[in-house]
Amino acid sequence: MAMLVADIGGTHARFAVAEAVDGAAPRLARTVTVPTAAAADLAGLVALALERGLGLHPQDAQGTVLAVAGAVQDGRAWLPNAGLTVDAQDACLAGRAVVLNDFVAQAYATLHPEVWASCQVLQEGVARSGPRAVAGAGTGFGACVLVPEEAGWVPLATEMGHTPFPFLPTEQDLQERILAEAGEAILDAVVSGPGLSRVHAWCTGKTMAPAAVAEAISPTHPTCAAFARLYGRALRILALTSLPTSGLFVAGGVAAKNPFLVEHPAFLEEFCACRGYEVMLAAFPVRLVTHPDAGLLGAAVAGCKRRWVV
C-alpha cells in the first residue's frame, strides 16, 4: 500500500502519494497543490486535494504523514501563519497518521538521495560525523537539527522562527519598521518572504509583495546584500548552537526560488562573522536544498521509518 504525505505551509498545502518498494528510497507518484487558505480545516484541504486528482484517500493509504508549519505537541499542531489546526486524530485521517513539524520533514529530506544529489554547494567545508542542521525562510522561518545515533538520526524540532532577531545598531530603523508592522522583531518577521518585503522597503522606500521584490531585484541590488546578510546571521546562530559538523542545509522557498539571495558574498561573510570562531564556521559544509519536492520526500522518509498498523 502507498502512503499519503503532505507539506502544509502558511501559503500552500502540497499533497502526494508516496511509494517505497523493497526498502528503496520512497518516490512520489502524484502531487497536488492547493492554497492553504482555500479550506477552513484539514478535512477541507484533503477534500480539495482529492477533487484535484490526488487519487488516494487517507482511509485507503498505508498511513498519512503531515508535515506542518507549526509546533507539534501530542500529534497536534497550530499553524500560526495559516490559522489552521492539524490533528493526527482528525476523523478524515482514518486513525493512521503522524504530524511532524515541516522542518523535521526538510531535515529528513536531506537523507533522500534525490534531494542530496540536487543540493547546491554554497560552502564546501569539511564534512565530519556529527549533527546536521536544516533551516530556511518561507512564509516564516523554520529549523531542525538531526542528531546521529546508532540506529540512524534523531530529529530535534525547533521553533527558532519565534526567537528574537539580533539587529546591529546600523539596523535600528529596520528593527523599528518590523516592530511597527509585525508587532515583534523575531526571525519569522525578518528572514522570510514578508521579511524580504520589509527589508526592501527599508532599503528603497518601496512597499512590494515578496514575489515582486524577488523579480525586481538583482544580485547587485542593495536589498539583495542586506537580506543575504540577515539570512547569514540567522544561520550563524543555528550553527553556533548546533555545531553541524556534517553540514548545514538551507531550505525553504525563498532561497530555493531566488538562490542569488544566498549566493551573494554577504551571506557567507555574515555567516562566518564571529570573532574567534571564523575558522570553525568556515569549515561547516553549507548547501542549498533545491529539490522542489523536498518537504514531501522528507515526509515520506519519515513515514518509511514507522510501523503502520493496517
Question: Phi and psi dihedrals of 293, rounded to 5?
Answer: -110, 25
Alpha-carbon torsion, ordered 107, 8, 231, 282, to 10 deg: 10
Location of C-alpha cell 542528531: 147
Q: 40 Cβ partners below 8 Å, 6+ apart?
A: none
Cell of 199: 527589508
Q: Are 117 and 82 in contact (CB under 8 A)?
A: no
- Provide the pLDDT for residue 129: 95
- What does the pLDDT profile of the chain (310 residues) look like in tens digits? 699 999 998 889 999 999 988 778 999 998 999 999 999 999 999 999 999 999 999 999 999 999 998 899 999 998 887 889 999 999 999 889 999 999 999 999 999 999 999 999 999 999 999 999 999 999 899 999 999 998 889 999 999 999 999 999 999 999 999 999 999 999 999 999 999 999 999 999 999 999 999 999 999 999 999 999 999 999 999 999 999 999 999 999 999 999 999 999 999 999 999 999 999 999 999 999 999 999 999 999 999 988 665 4
Neighbours of 156 (CB within 10 A): 15
Q: 216 Cβ partners below 8 Å, 6+ apart?
A: 200, 208
Q: Are 219 and 230 in contact (CB under 8 A)?
A: no
What residue segments make up the domains of the chain, in order of their start?
3-100, 120-288
- Provide the pLDDT for residue 243: 98
SS3 assignment, position 29? strand
Distance CA 294, CA 276 (A): 35
Residue ranges of E strands in 102-199: 120-123, 132-137, 141-149, 152-157
For 205-254, what is the HEC assignment? CCCCCHHHHHHHCCCCCHHHHHHHHHHHHHHHHHHHHHCCCCCEEEECHH
SS3 assignment, position 82? coil
Q: Are 242 and 280 in contact (CB under 8 A)?
A: no
- Provide the pLDDT for residue 309: 52
Location of C-alpha cell 508516496: 18
- Provide the pLDDT for residue 266: 98
> What kind of fold does domain 120-288 have according to CATH?
Hexokinase; domain 1 (3.40.367)
Q: CATH number of the domain at 3-100, out of 3.40.50.1110, 3.90.1170.30, 1.10.238.10, 3.30.420.40?
A: 3.30.420.40
Distance CA 148, CA 163 (A): 25
Question: Phi and psi dihedrals of 194, rounded to 5?
Answer: -60, -35
Cell of 75: 500529534
| One fold for 3-100 and 120-288 | no
Beta strand pairing call for 132-137 and 141-149? antiparallel
Q: Are 1 and 299 in contact (CB under 8 A)?
A: no
